[in-house]
Amino acid sequence: MKIYIYAICKNESKFVNRFMDSVRDADGVYVLDTGSDDDSVQALRNRGATVQTQTFDPFRFDAARNASLALLPEDGDLYICLDLDEILEKGWREALEKAVAAAPDANRFLYRYVWSHNPDGSDGVVFWAEKIHRKGFVWKGAVHEVLSPDGSIENRSAYAYGVQVTHYPDNKKSRSSYLPLLEIAAAEAPEDDRTAHYLGREYMYSGQYEKAIAALGRHLSLPSATWADERAASMRYISQCCSYLGRGREAVEWALRAVAEASDTREPYLRLARAFYERSDFAGVLWAASAGLSVTERKLSYITEPDAWGAPLHDLLSIAYYQFGQYKKAVAEAQKALSFGENERIRNNLRFFLEADAEKE
């Protein structure tokens, strides 16, 4: 079996050795450099990668990915698309070969993708990604690009259990190019619900809250927008934008809609608890935080957010319990919140709750 790695690169010299170490079991590594002015190209070549250079004006991720895909030899059985700030974890080749043997008709394989990490180093956002494929796929989308069958095949996916890709991003890199590229992608595919969702989220990230609300509302109106978890995420983001704009009642209403849309996920409950907290509605906080913590299964989806599975729900619940004079419960929840990592404010709250409980007795 021939397995080739391909990637695009720009000014990522600092990642080269780690990246190349992780893919040493591949049959070849092919990188398209899109305009580095550091020593990325030479560093990659020194480590055995085949590198070509090409610039794009304007830059589009799908164009760059397709150009990098075109570098690959025709005799490949499987192709793995990576970025240089990602690594394949040890044992990936053996696990992938087992997956292929178990599903010989599959032409695309899903793997565990760790997109981010919590402050303590544990896994943050984790989901199933599917950038391992056979021939017959092309990349589409100016940004947040996706692999799609080129028309000659049908997509047949299988899980490659035991294969993990871990992302170690350069958090100093600017996201400034994402928004204009998403606007292009949305204009090119106005009925694509995924792009509409991403565009609204990016408007929120950039502080353009009214635009975000409009774009996310358009996502919800699309006939193809049927995935409940993603719809709930759009509702959560609208709620968050309303909070930023000082429209607290609307923030609560949209958070309630998110809970109704995807009540089996924690994230809407956390947004609702925060919206109630902003209005000093501690009965609402008590209900939302308790309901959120009753959801114990974390989905492997890009929609999940580490905060919902960390300290915040316990923190909010502790404050709500304190407001209703249930000091022992407030202490217990504050202690649980602190188990996720030291936080001076929560630590001070805990002391306050302990003092209140001692006075009550």
Q: Which domain holds residue 360?
A: 310-361
Of the residues 105, 133, 167, which one is the last residue of a structural domain?
167
Query: 252 lies in a domain?
Result: no
| Whole-angstrom distance, CA of residue 129 vs CA of residue 115 | 10
Q: What is the pLDDT of residues 184-201, one digit of tens each?
A: 999 999 999 999 999 999
The predicted model gives 63-71 an average pLDDT of 98
| Whole-angstrom distance, CA of residue 231 vs CA of residue 169 | 27
pLDDT category at 209 given cuts 50, 70, 90 is very high
Which position has the higher pLDDT, 176 or 229?
A: 229
Ordered DSSP codes for 64-105? HHHHHHTTS-TT-SEEEEEETTEEEPTTHHHHHHHHHHH-TT
Domain with residue 60: its CATH number is: 3.90.550.10
Query: 68 lies in a domain?
Result: yes
253-256 long-range contacts, Cβ below 8 Å, gap at least 24? 255/288
How many domains does the chain contain in total? Answer: 2
Is the model's pLDDT at 175 over the cut of 90?
no
Query: 359 lies in a domain?
Result: yes
Of the residues 167, 193, 216, which one is the last residue of a structural domain?
167
Q: Specify the pLDDT at position 170.
A: 84
Return mean pLDDT, the chain.
96
Residue 287, amino acid: W
Query: 296 lies in a domain?
Result: no
Residue pair 193/219 in contact by the 8 Å Cβ criterion: yes
The predicted model gives 41-61 an average pLDDT of 97
Q: Which residue has the tokens 């300290």?
A: 311
Query: 64 lies in a domain?
Result: yes
Is the model's pLDDT at 176 over the cut of 80?
no
Length of the chain: 361
Q: What is the pLDDT of residues 89-107, one digit of tens each?
A: 999 999 999 999 999 999 9
Query: 193 lies in a domain?
Result: no
Query: 40 lies in a domain?
Result: yes
Of the residues 99, 132, 167, which one is the last residue of a structural domain?
167
Query: 256 lies in a domain?
Result: no
The predicted model gives 211-234 an average pLDDT of 98
